Amino acid sequence: MAARRTRTAEPVVEETKPKGRKVEPKECGCGCGAMTKGGEWAIGHDMRKKSSLLKAFDAGDVSAGAELVERGWRTEAALAARKLDGPAARTAASAEARKAAKVAKLDARIAALTAERAALVGEVAS
Ligand SMILES: [Zn+2]
């Protein structure tokens, strides 16, 4: 009984891992403690790190600015512009605007109360 030869041989399964690249889990660079699949960051955590560096820079951390430039996430010029018109600067400006609005509102209330008092006093007097 002759074995029937199959024409379709099993396809050669190739390794899908790229050759020459070490895939060694590392601790995520953002400091979250998660392990990566070999890169510097867990998925999306480079953005997390960038965001925290920007926040630190806005709070006045010079070394955070240096790291942003070093990583190519911001240029020196962009950081200089951010200092002048970044979220921190805009927050300060809007805080001033809110304060001015509050003062104006209080002034209006004081004027209304003064008028109300004058009316009451006038009623009593008459
Ligand atoms: Zn992380």
31 and 75 in a single domain? The answer is yes
Q: Which domain holds residue 121?
A: 90-126
Residue 24 has pLDDT above 90, yes or no: no
Domain assignment present for 15: no
Domain assignment present for 57: yes
41 and 81 in a single domain? The answer is yes
Q: How far, in Å, CA of 84 to CA of 62, rounded?
A: 15
pTM for this model (two decimals):
0.60
Q: How far, in Å, CA of 121 to CA of 30, rounded?
A: 67
Domain assignment present for 6: no
Give distance in angstroms: CA of 93 to centre of ligand 1: 33
- pLDDT exceeding 90 applies to what percent of the chain? 67
69 and 105 in a single domain? The answer is no
Q: What is the pLDDT of residues 42-85, one digit of tens each?
A: 999 999 999 999 999 999 999 999 999 999 999 999 999 999 98
Q: How far, in Å, CA of 101 to CA of 95, rounded?
A: 10
Residue 22 has pLDDT above 70, yes or no: no
Give distance in angstroms: CA of 25 to centre of ligand 1: 13
